[in-house]
Structure 1
């Protein structure tokens, strides 16, 4: 049945048996007209929404979302009195690849060196039953590779290099013996820096799960609480919440230990220790892990080694995150104090905002007011000053958002966990969207502006999906994304070479303009986020290569298309410069000593050092060392062929003749397949990275030829990808702090417990912020 409205519009019902064919055709044509009319209305509505929903409206919406989310997260922290330590100790879930994810914060995987550094000279004591001894053994194994047999006796470990002491004291019942041991620890001259205590299963088993035993258990906990609180004044005290059991696997003597009994004993412990002023922390992380892995409990009582190891790592994070302050461990970390530079920037932001408000106020005053006698002269200067102050004011607000996302303890953060669906599903969606937004290019030459913007756009979207899905763990994807980074550098060489060839502008203004455009956002972030310049490795990389390109091309013979006569000697000079650049690159690449001497000397060391050394710069520079030269050589050959009128760049026509185009297309496809097969068969990243500088040019050139040889392909582009390509630099840099989190180690969580909605909201805000920063940078590069 069709809706009543449609039936009235058509004017007749379904066809009757009389004249069935004619009536059926009539009814079908009417129905088709109705649905076409509806489709036209929907299309018109979509176009109307598209026209009304501009970037300005999107930014207003994103600002409203930020304010709302900030208010919600702040209220949640204030009223629920929840912090990342509580999330770490009591909540969590398993992600892909058995990664444990506490709710709202990131857990760091401690190395032996980090654990020994944090616990150096400290004393950690475990007290309890056979479950606690397993946790003790896993904890010791983080500090040193030592395996303890899980026996029902006291055990002691001392690390001679760091003077860490870790003891296990066997007390399977919460009785007077345990109470006396706690009193002796409290009265001891050297009190433990951390105490992990817990017991219940033996009490349930030995007293046959009686109600009287449960009551006595609670009474004993209350009598021990004073000693535990006293120990908590000196160090950390954790009460171990009992994990579940797999009842079917228990031996007959343990059948009284049921999950119902475990829950009752846990509730008793929570009731005793979870009071308003108690310093005792409830450690329930391993219980959450056990609930999600009950089938892995082999003997029914003791957790699987994997769960014990994760529980020990939770404890290590709780004890050490405030000391070590790892980048990828946001649990139990407070907001760091503001540096002097951050305070100065905050003052500049406040002053700029006040000046901007003052200029707006003066602009609204009537000209004839006697209190502003020189308003006409002010009007001449007002637009520049107001534009600068307005841009700086907006930039300041954006930097506040950056700080709140990735430095302040306001929004949540989560760990990455790679799965094929997390990477390939959004990748397919993005490319489908891009294909639906095809338009004709304004020009049809090779690598025209729309095409290069499109190229940068889809590459940037792939890199964003790659980063947020943690796909670097999958070597084939890692190697293909490495090609995308090389392609960016290829475009750097191609673009700057082409500019200097066509414009011949080697002036200081051009240099300052490019340097400002590349570095403005990064320099601001270095100050706001308290990070060194090299931390944002891609910008130092493209800045370095721009200066190299400028120096090489500015030397005689300069590459200028407008030269009246260009001799063979001139071409030879250009080739010699390119060959000399390749030789210089090889010198630095194969002589790390020369590289280190060059870049560790002042002032270059201040630009290229990270964590006190240049290893990161050495790795990044060496990985794509030939990509820029490849782009320069391609630009030289292309512009030369264009000058000689060898290419056919008319719209719709193939770039070469059919005899040349078809073999080149087949060769390009073969290059793609060859590279993908090689990348998929690499065993380690180190092995792949050694060959990558020589192989990356093959898929890049193959893509350019496939994209440009067919005339129809060269004449269209995706406006969707091109839009993102215009802000690709801002997207790449901003992702560090407001799309990802913890300096790219994790994921920013604005909408908890809903990963899909969280990605949509954070992506929307992230793109709006990047677009606004792009506009601000373009404005300031003109004014400054």
Structure 2
């Protein structure tokens, strides 16, 4: 207890100071950006409609995506369109370029029906006529009106109003009711081609005829869905205007190229750009940016765009209208353009609790109020609570609000490899000798003490604690860089990372096996401590972030395998000292777990039970996939752990140690050769063969032990290497669980699908490096402080307290879920 108090009062002050000073600096910068520079487009609506760029195309199966500047655009499909527009109308009016967008929307709703109806339309001689399409409870209407002066459009505009109709969801809107969304095409191409010298006046008359309906600034009401009285989660109705399309002039037919000139197009778009700001807020300038920045944007006639361009155009329309209600109803929705900040009462409660804790305990003063001094362990518990609350609050600020921007990730092989090399070089910079096994606080190096240092000839054996943490940290560094650089797009990288993840499960199984066999501790309190340690962070984050426990899949999978290991060793525990019986138990456990994982319906049944009783949402298929990839490596860890324990118990450590000589012993050459051959052969065969992820995943569970065991042999054969460890990776290894979970929200964004940005990435003088450094300092610091806090709470876990926590989580799920 005294040691915990001392740690809370002293050793953690530098880490807390650095982390929270950096955090305050970033918060000040974000406040400056938002309240001084960001008022014109807080929610990214103008960015969506006005500016963007195409992402790099990695392969034919991963085509380019349109990325608005400063926000993330969702790609809508049939279900999400239905959720937004069910029972409503989407009206599009204009020429054939707008008709392309109409068919793009129809294909999203029902590809087969759209293909049939578009083919039937193409066979008719009447191309210039109105169209309707209905699917998924949504009605699409196209009004042929290249001049914006038809009776049909006039009727649609007369009935239009911003406030959605009050009606039962799912009942289709009638003709005399307002359309949810109206998309208008500027009459520029027809005015230029058929208007002669009076083309500009004709164009102006068409725009002036609809300008009264563009009077309200689009940003004033786009995000008011959640505040619409009596109509929660329903977007306000909108009108959007497409600019005059800039065609591919060099491919226009001779008749069109004489009239549709760049000069005429520029003059008409210039007129649009000089409309009052409230009217220009409805113009989707991004349409022309799409075609100007794409290598192949138009079909052969130079007027009509390729299908993928039309798809992205309708996505812009739908993002403008549907993102606000989607965010209100689905926390996992990834679009951030034209999206409000969702309400979060848990965030407000966390802020209130943090304020109360600040009043109770100020770490700088190292004192607490008199009335709390008699309470047990107040300083360290309050400090731990503070750190956890700040971690939760920062997660929400980064990933739940619009304070911190989110950008799409792109895989670039060169920067990824360079960053990995930097991590390797940095890891090799500091090498420490292995110290005797003592109780140490994670992330803090013990002070030098001559009495604590081991003798130079002491051998610490195979895979000691410091070495295990070093390996976990090395792997975690590569995994973080893998996620940050979106390297999952490269199959060769994916294969390596899968081995690293399997190695973590091996080390986890090895460590748990060693502990249980060494201590014989099968108590419920030990189980409670381990389960709390593994699951604490991933159990409370869903309350703040609106995610689910299974979203952080690593904790559930590690928990599953720990319970398997514990149960296997607990059953007939008196025979664990017999290697042959232990092997038989492991084989039986392997068979049972494989059946549980592979048998259809079993995991689904468990997921249904968990949801019915505990209100926990599980993706059984995803869980099955994760478990199946490592269903055998865990038992390899158990076997090696039991073998090492048995050797130690029988004083046969020479099996796992090289002779104390610092030179290479000839008896160990065969092990070097076998380990090197295993590593080289594994990576050569997997990298040159198995051309798909599916093929590799099918084989991975059976071969993942080869590189893992090969590396461990090489790492432990020589005593000099065995009795030293890399300090930096070892520190990261101690907080590997926290970094893996928190990366979802404060290292990456959008639940680990986007990069976070502070708005410095485009600044000069290495602004992007400053941005990454600030975010990384906060990420590592909060991960370490959260690890420290979890260790403090773990010290006070009792059997009864653990059961109370479970009951609290159950009640929380019933209320919150």
TM-score range, shorter chain: 0.7 to 0.9
3-state SS, counterpart of residue 782 of structure 2: helix
Measured in 1, the distance between the counterparts of 2:761 and 2:270 equals: 26
Partner of 2:359: 354
Q: Deviations over 1:90-148 (max 9, x none)?
A: 22112222222112222222233333443332211211123222222222221221243
CA contact (8 A) 1:609 1:617 kept: no
CA contact (8 A) 2:195 2:202 kept: no
CA contact (8 A) 1:229 1:279 kept: no
Partner of 1:264: 267
1:333 to 1:139, Cα distance in 2 relative to 1, 3 A: same
Partner of 2:180: 193
1:771 corresponds to 2:784: yes
Measured in 1, the distance between the counterparts of 2:616 and 2:214 equals: 50
1:260 to 1:638, Cα distance in 2 relative to 1, 3 A: farther
CA contact (8 A) 1:651 1:712 kept: no
Measured in 1, the distance between the counterparts of 2:22 and 2:366 equals: 30
Aligned-pair CA distance for 1:685: 2.9
Aligned-pair CA distance for 1:490: 0.8
Partner of 1:543: 559
Partner of 2:19: 59
CA contact (8 A) 1:735 1:744 kept: yes
Partner of 1:706: 714
CA contact (8 A) 2:678 2:707 kept: no
1:168 corresponds to 2:169: no
Partner of 2:344: 338
1:434 corresponds to 2:427: yes
CA contact (8 A) 1:480 1:679 kept: no
Q: Deviations over 1:464-510 (max 9, x none)?
A: 11112222233332232222221111111100111122233333443
Match of 1:144 among 94, 110, 113: 110
3-state SS, counterpart of residue 337 of structure 2: coil
Partner of 2:34: 74
3-state SS, counterpart of residue 141 of structure 2: strand
Measured in 2, the distance between the counterparts of 1:655 and 1:558 equals: 42
Aligned-pair CA distance for 1:603: 7.7
1:512 corresponds to 2:517: no
Partner of 1:14: none
Measured in 2, the distance between the counterparts of 1:172 and 1:719 equals: 70
Partner of 1:224: 210
1:120 corresponds to 2:74: no
Partner of 1:723: 731
Measured in 2, the distance between the counterparts of 1:747 and 1:436 equals: 28
CA contact (8 A) 1:195 1:236 kept: yes
1:651 to 1:159, Cα distance in 2 relative to 1, 3 A: farther
1:698 to 1:360, Cα distance in 2 relative to 1, 3 A: closer
Aligned-pair CA distance for 1:581: 1.3
1:230 to 1:428, Cα distance in 2 relative to 1, 3 A: closer
1:423 to 1:84, Cα distance in 2 relative to 1, 3 A: same
Partner of 1:290: 291
Aligned-pair CA distance for 1:342: 5.4
Q: Deviations over 1:621-669 (max 9, x none)?
A: 2221222211111111233344423326368658995345435533543
| Unpaired runs of at least 5, structure 2 | 1-12, 58-63, 162-174, 222-235, 436-458, 763-767, 798-817
Give matches, 1:658-737, under 5 Å. Answer: 658-678=666-686, 681-737=689-745
3-state SS, counterpart of residue 106 of structure 2: helix
1:109 to 1:605, Cα distance in 2 relative to 1, 3 A: farther
Cα RMSD (Å): 3.4
Measured in 2, the distance between the counterparts of 1:401 and 1:237 equals: 37
1:348 to 1:380, Cα distance in 2 relative to 1, 3 A: closer
Measured in 1, the distance between the counterparts of 2:407 and 2:217 equals: 32
Measured in 2, the distance between the counterparts of 1:130 and 1:772 equals: 60
1:378 to 1:88, Cα distance in 2 relative to 1, 3 A: closer
With 434-443 and 170-179 compared, the bigger mean Cα shift is at 170-179
Aligned-pair CA distance for 1:525: 0.9
1:198 to 1:757, Cα distance in 2 relative to 1, 3 A: farther
1:653 to 1:155, Cα distance in 2 relative to 1, 3 A: farther
CA contact (8 A) 2:200 2:268 kept: yes
1:674 to 1:396, Cα distance in 2 relative to 1, 3 A: closer
Aligned-pair CA distance for 1:82: 3.5
Match of 1:479 among 483, 495, 498: 495
Partner of 1:630: 636
Aligned-pair CA distance for 1:227: 4.2
CA contact (8 A) 1:153 1:169 kept: no
CA contact (8 A) 1:204 1:213 kept: yes
CA contact (8 A) 2:94 2:144 kept: yes
Give matches, 1:334-733, under 5 Å. Answer: 334-339=340-345, 345-356=350-361, 363=367, 379=373, 381=375, 384-442=377-435, 444-558=460-574, 570-602=578-610, 606=614, 609-610=617-618, 613-642=619-648, 643-647=651-655, 649=657, 653=661, 658-678=666-686, 681-733=689-741
With 415-424 and 621-630 compared, the bigger mean Cα shift is at 415-424
Match of 2:191 among 185, 203, 215: 203
Aligned-pair CA distance for 1:237: 0.7
Measured in 1, the distance between the counterparts of 2:727 and 2:105 equals: 55
With 312-321 and 74-83 compared, the bigger mean Cα shift is at 74-83
3-state SS, counterpart of residue 282 of structure 1: coil
TM-score, length of structure 1 as denominator length: 0.81
Partner of 1:38: none
Aligned-pair CA distance for 1:181: 5.9
Q: Deviations over 1:373-395 (max 9, x none)?
A: xx6x965547x213322321232
Q: Deviations over 1:161-194 (max 9, x none)?
A: x232222222223557787465566595133221
1:273 to 1:698, Cα distance in 2 relative to 1, 3 A: farther
1:684 to 1:352, Cα distance in 2 relative to 1, 3 A: same
CA contact (8 A) 1:454 1:721 kept: yes
Aligned-pair CA distance for 1:558: 4.4
1:678 to 1:61, Cα distance in 2 relative to 1, 3 A: same
Measured in 1, the distance between the counterparts of 2:614 and 2:661 equals: 51
Match of 2:322 among 320, 325, 328: 320
Measured in 1, the distance between the counterparts of 2:434 and 2:347 equals: 45
Measured in 2, the distance between the counterparts of 1:257 and 1:594 equals: 65
1:604 to 1:344, Cα distance in 2 relative to 1, 3 A: same
Aligned-pair CA distance for 1:296: 4.1
Measured in 1, the distance between the counterparts of 2:669 and 2:52 equals: 57
Measured in 1, the distance between the counterparts of 2:495 and 2:301 equals: 44
3-state SS, counterpart of residue 93 of structure 2: strand
3-state SS, counterpart of residue 592 of structure 1: coil
CA contact (8 A) 1:444 1:715 kept: yes
Q: Deviations over 1:708-757 (max 9, x none)?
A: 22444334432222221121111101001111111122222223543555
CA contact (8 A) 1:90 1:284 kept: yes
Partner of 1:252: 254
3-state SS, counterpart of residue 655 of structure 2: coil
Measured in 2, the distance between the counterparts of 1:684 and 1:415 equals: 24
Measured in 2, the distance between the counterparts of 1:661 and 1:639 equals: 25
Aligned-pair CA distance for 1:615: 2.4
CA contact (8 A) 2:462 2:656 kept: no
Measured in 2, the distance between the counterparts of 1:428 and 1:630 equals: 30
With 650-659 and 190-199 compared, the bigger mean Cα shift is at 650-659
With 348-357 and 445-454 compared, the bigger mean Cα shift is at 348-357
CA contact (8 A) 2:716 2:722 kept: yes
Partner of 2:449: none
Measured in 2, the distance between the counterparts of 1:290 and 1:756 equals: 32
With 169-178 and 189-198 compared, the bigger mean Cα shift is at 169-178
